[in-house]
Amino acid sequence: MSKLLELRHVNRAFGGVHAVRDVSLTLNQGEIIGLIGPNGAGKTTLVNAITGVHPPQSGEILHNGARIDGLKPFQVAGKGIARTFQVVQPFPAMTVLENVMAGSLFAAHKSSMKAASEAAMAQLEFTGLAPLANRPASELTLAHRKRLELAKSLAMEPKLLLLDEVNAGLNTAEVDQALELIRAIAAKGITVLIIEHLLKVVLTLCQRVVVLHHGELIADDTPANIFKDQRVITAYLGARFADRYKAQHG
């Protein structure tokens, strides 16, 4: 497996809050990696560190072996690293199509409006939003706004896609549809890092799961092993409940 992205001893603090602490992690080409951890664990901060939104204060991030920490977000996007936002933020007055065109014009360097529009339309077809192409983004339901986030980032023609809670707030049927879509994205050969609360999604989608707790990477393993890991159970349930869980489950 070839290394796509490598984090070496990455740190990021905000004032006194050490949000990401000495995290080292490798993402390999073609993987779907789950990133989990309790609220406030530093998951979004890690994505912000990778994408140059909140660059690391120390440590290194390498993409195909070359340093990218210190690059601006648009430069990181230009390397083929796209992300979705936990709080979806479409341009509300623009149509669904125009929102996606912004991605294809900006990062995929389409040379004309026609080329950008065609590329954007292809992503709307892929994500099932084509019938809504000419509606203002502000009219979309949450599930459709989440899809729009995906379409926008896909229009940047990424090699690596960082998904920050794309399924939060969706109902069961919507989550199943989103799962199918994420599988289809991975089948295109795009490496996916998915921040996810729903264990069902992690268990069915990911070959590998990494766990953050208080900014530290405490586990990196297969889904089956992750949920047997005492530190992971303790991080999620607290020490008292973890002891009880262990007594019951061995």
Ligand X SMILES: Nc1ncnc2c1ncn2[C@@H]1O[C@H](COP(=O)(O)OP(=O)(O)O)[C@@H](O)[C@H]1O
Q: Which residues of this protein are in contact with ligand X, per CB under 6 A?
A: 14, 17, 19, 37, 39-45
Give the nearest distance from C-beta 239 to ligand X in angstroms: 20
Nearest to Mg ion by Cβ — which residue?
44
CB nearer to Mg ion: pick between 11 and 86: 86
User: DSSP assignment of the chain, as one string?
Assistant: --EEEEEEEEEEEETTEEEEEEEEEEEETT-EEEEE-STTSSHHHHHHHHTTSS--SEEEEEETTEE-TT--HHHHHHTTEEE--SS----TTSBHHHHHHHHHHHTS--SSHHHHHHHHHHHHHHHT-GGGTTSBGGG--HHHHHHHHHHHHHTT--SEEEEESTTTT--HHHHHHHHHHHHHHHHTT-EEEEE-S-HHHHHHH-SEEEEEETTEEEEEE-HHHHTT-HHHHHHHH-HHHHHHHHHHH-
CB nearer to Mg ion: pick between 41 and 129: 41
Give the nearest distance from C-beta 204 to Mg ion in angstroms: 21
- 66-67 and 17-28 as β-strands: parallel, antiparallel, unpaired? unpaired
CB nearer to ligand X: pick between 86 and 177: 86
Give the nearest distance from C-beta 89 to ligand X in angstroms: 15
CB nearer to Mg ion: pick between 4 and 212: 212
CB nearer to ligand X: pick between 19 and 116: 19
Give the nearest distance from C-beta 13 to ligand X in angstroms: 8
Interface pick for Mg ion out of 25, 44, 132, 148 (rule CB under 5 A)? 44
Give the nearest distance from C-beta 42 to ligand X in angstroms: 4
**Which listed range, 81-89, 94-102, 143-151, 234-242, lies at the site for Mg ion (CB under 5 A)?**
81-89
Chain positions 115 to 174 lying near Mg ion, rule: CB under 5 A, are none
Which residues lie near Mg ion (CB under 5 A)? Answer: 43-44, 86
